[in-house]
Amino acid sequence: MAEFTGREPTEGWLTQEIALSQADGVFVEAGAYNGEELSNSLFFEKERGWSGLLIEPDPWNYYALRKRNRNARSIQCCLSKELLGQTIDFKQSDTMGRVVTPEEKKSLPGIYTKVKCFPLGLVLIAAGIRRVDLLSLDIEGRELEVLSHFPFDENL
**Residue 47: DSSP 8-state:** H
At 57, the amino acid letter reads P
Does the pLDDT value for residue 72 go beyond 80? yes
Does the pLDDT value for residue 152 go beyond 90? no
Q: Range with the lowest mean pLDDT among 43-52, 105-114, 145-154?
A: 145-154
- The predicted structure's pLDDT at residue 78: 95
Counting beta carbons within 10 angstroms of the beta carbon of residue 72, is it exposed (0 to 12), middle (13 to 18) or buried (19 or more)? buried
Q: How far apart are CA 135 and CA 145, in angstroms?
A: 15
pLDDT single digits (tens) 17-53: 665 667 789 999 999 999 999 999 998 999 889 999 9
Q: How far apart are CA 113 and CA 98, in angstroms?
A: 10
- The predicted structure's pLDDT at residue 141: 85
Counting beta carbons within 10 angstroms of the beta carbon of residue 144, is it exposed (0 to 12), middle (13 to 18) or buried (19 or more)? exposed
Task: Give domain limits for the chain.
Answer: 26-85+116-147
- The predicted structure's pLDDT at residue 15: 63
Q: What is the pTM of this model?
A: 0.86
